[in-house]
Amino acid sequence: MPKTFEGFGLRLLYPDNWEVEARAEDEGDQGVTFQIPGGGFLALETLPITREDEIVIEEIDQTIRDAYEEVEREVVTLPGAEPDERAVDLRFIYLDLVILSRIVLLDAPASTRDQMPIAGRILMQFQAEMKDFEANEMVAHAILKQIRDTEVE
């Protein structure tokens, strides 16, 4: 039976074996991180209208490059993506494991903007070891679809 997350104007179903990570007080209530069994996470954050997509992507890219020697970057187009969505895959090695970190930026739905008028975009970062990434990729797609469909409801 799936669990339900409700926050910052979103109502999302997610697997019952995923756990919502407690947020530090200084992180606020503008995002959520789901821990994936076996390791990995899917994080959603609202971003202000003033944050440019490329700056957000570069900041995440640089943070990963600072921690890991070789990082491959690939622009991807996801199934069902809206024309203004941006998606980038970053691949790197950690302890002999290939890690994939997918960064997706999409428009915040009206329900999010109603609660947080400065919210313009939603950032999803889905990161796991390749085997766990592939096992949970369809769930990440389903979460993105729920966000895209929020305005229609």
10 HSE (CA, 13 A, CB side): 27
Regarding the domain with residue range 3-152, which homologous superfamily does it belong to in the CATH classification? Mog1/PsbP, alpha/beta/alpha sandwich (3.40.1000.10)
Residues 70-114 pLDDT 10s: 999 999 999 888 888 999 999 998 888 899 999 999 988 878 877
Please, are residues 36 and 136 in contact by the beta-carbon 8 Å criterion?
yes
Q: Where are the domains of the chain?
A: 3-152
CA 42 to chain centre: 5
Residues 28-76 pLDDT 10s: 667 889 999 988 999 999 888 788 889 999 999 999 999 988 999 999 9
Q: Where are the alpha helices (DSSP H) in the chain?
A: 53-67, 110-115, 130-149
pLDDT of residue 125: 95
Distances (CA, A) of 17 to 7, 38, 66, 116, 128: 19, 10, 32, 30, 15
Q: What is the dihedral of CA 58, 59, 65, 66, to 10 degrees?
A: 150
pTM of the predicted structure, to 2 decimals:
0.89
